[in-house]
């Protein structure tokens, strides 16, 4: 949740207060805040279309193709851009699951309007994939679409399961060719994450792959320039739970080395775990002596300051 020009502690207090409300009321208020002064006040489908393209490229690097295949997405969120991007790129069926039912057709319509306003921008984004007759046909269908959410799901082969328990999916064994997510795994408690990763082994076909993008940063720093992307590493687990232990703000704060250990514990074989370069401003703060909670104190600054990583596993 992004609230512009609000110091991060005030933002955290707002999130806590909304989370204490009964779920239907809190959910509506949260959405209203997001739409008026938050991250949904200005939406652009490009970032998540680009994420879908990155997922497909990483699968192709492993000799895998999604054309005609089934994809499982973890963490739908408010919109459908990753599933739509995967469909444009050849997936036949995309099952997208979320613990909360956040999806809003109004936002999907906004994204489709953005496609209609600048179709050449998105054709360029998808590169050589956009040259296929399948992509052209599907892209034209999206540009022309004006129907209901149910009609959109039928057109694109997208199935939305929410609320759903990703550790106990209503899917058959070995029924999925790829299991993907974009900046979702950091919002799941470690024990639950292990259970979800173990369930992925049940639903993935023998040739199947996991492709996940993990965001290791303090999300409050995205809207509060007074703090660094490692600001939340100062707090012990109990203090952090008081500040951000709610469904609107939770971050497990796993560092890239801890995440690798968690993958090993879940039985996932890591093919690629590709961290980004450490964030320069965070590195400077760490090297200048930013006080850290004991959990993070023994780690090199280069580990604590990693912003993002892509995982490919099986």
* Domain, as residue range, for 195: 44-313
CB burial class (10 A; 0-12, 13-18, 19+) of residue 185? Answer: buried
- Residue 276 is given by DSSP the state P
Confidence of residue 3 (pLDDT cuts 50, 70, 90): very low
55, 180 contact by CB (below 8 A): yes
User: Does the residue 196 lie in any domain?
Assistant: yes
pLDDT at 2: 43
Nearest to 90 by CA among 119, 120, 65: 65
Please name the helix (run of DSSP H) or strand (run of DSSP E) that holds residue 11, with its range, or none. Answer: helix 8-20
User: Does the residue 10 lie in any domain?
Assistant: no
Tokens linked to 116 = 């209609």
User: Does the residue 257 lie in any domain?
Assistant: yes
Distances (CA, A) of 275 to 58, 185, 212, 255, 305: 14, 15, 12, 10, 10
User: Does the residue 6 lie in any domain?
Assistant: no
What does the pLDDT average to over 189-216? 97
| CA quadruple 285, 288, 291, 297: dihedral sign | positive
**Segment 66-80, tens digit of pLDDT:** 999 999 999 999 999
Q: What residues are paired with 211 via a beta bridge?
A: 180, 312
**pLDDT of residue 104 exceeding 80:** yes
**pTM for the structure as a whole:** 0.95
CATH of residue 143's domain is 3.40.50.150
Q: What angle do CA 113, 155, 134 make, to 5 degrees?
A: 85
If one counts the domains in the chain, the total is: 1
SS3 content of the chain, % helix, strand, coil (to 5): 50, 15, 35
pLDDT at 4: 52
Q: Which residues contact 195 (CB under 8 A, 6 or more apart)?
A: 167
User: Does the residue 117 lie in any domain?
Assistant: yes
**Segment 106-142, tens digit of pLDDT:** 999 999 999 999 999 999 999 999 999 999 999 999 9
Confidence of residue 43 (pLDDT cuts 50, 70, 90): confident
Distances (CA, A) of 260 to 102, 270, 312: 30, 8, 12
**Residue with token string 């639950």:** 192
User: Does the residue 23 lie in any domain?
Assistant: no
User: Does the residue 256 lie in any domain?
Assistant: yes
């Amino acid at each position: 949740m992004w609230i512009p020009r609000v110091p991060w502690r005030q933002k955290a207090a707002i999130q806590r207060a909304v989370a204490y409300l009964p779920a239907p009321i809190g959910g509506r208020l949260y959405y209203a805040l997001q739409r008026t002064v938050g991250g949904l006040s200005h939406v652009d489908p490009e970032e998540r279309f680009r994420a879908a393209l990155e997922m497909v490229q990483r699968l192709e690097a492993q000799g895998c193709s999604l054309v005609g295949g089934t994809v499982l997405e973890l963490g739908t969120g408010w919109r459908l851009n990753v599933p739509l991007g995967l469909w444009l790129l050849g997936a036949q069926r995309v099952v997208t699951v979320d613990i909360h039912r956040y999806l809003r057709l109004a936002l999907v319509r906004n994204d489709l309007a953005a496609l209609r306003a600048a179709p050449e921008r998105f054709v360029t984004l998808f590169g050589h994939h956009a040259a296929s007759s399948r992509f052209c046909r599907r892209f034209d269908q999206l540009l022309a679409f004006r129907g209901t959410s149910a009609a959109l799901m039928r057109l694109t082969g997208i199935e939305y399961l929410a609320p759903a328990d990703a550790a106990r999916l209503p899917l058959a064994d070995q029924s999925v060719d790829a299991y993907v997510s974009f900046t979702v795994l950091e919002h799941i408690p470690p024990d639950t994450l292990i259970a979800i990763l173990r369930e992925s082994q049940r639903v993935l076909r023998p040739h199947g792959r996991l492709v996940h993008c993990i965001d290791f940063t303090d999300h409050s720093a995205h809207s509060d320039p007074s703090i660094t992307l490692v600001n939340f590493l100062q707090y012990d687990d109990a203090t952090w739970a008081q500040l951000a232990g709610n469904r609107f703000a939770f971050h497990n704060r796993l560092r890239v080395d801890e995440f690798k250990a968690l993958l090993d514990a879940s039985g996932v074989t890591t093919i690629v775990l590709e961290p980004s370069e450490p964030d320069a401003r965070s590195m400077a703060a760490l090297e200048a002596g930013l006080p850290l909670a004991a959990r993070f104190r023994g780690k090199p600054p280069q580990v604590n300051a990693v912003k993002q990583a892509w995982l490919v596993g099986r």
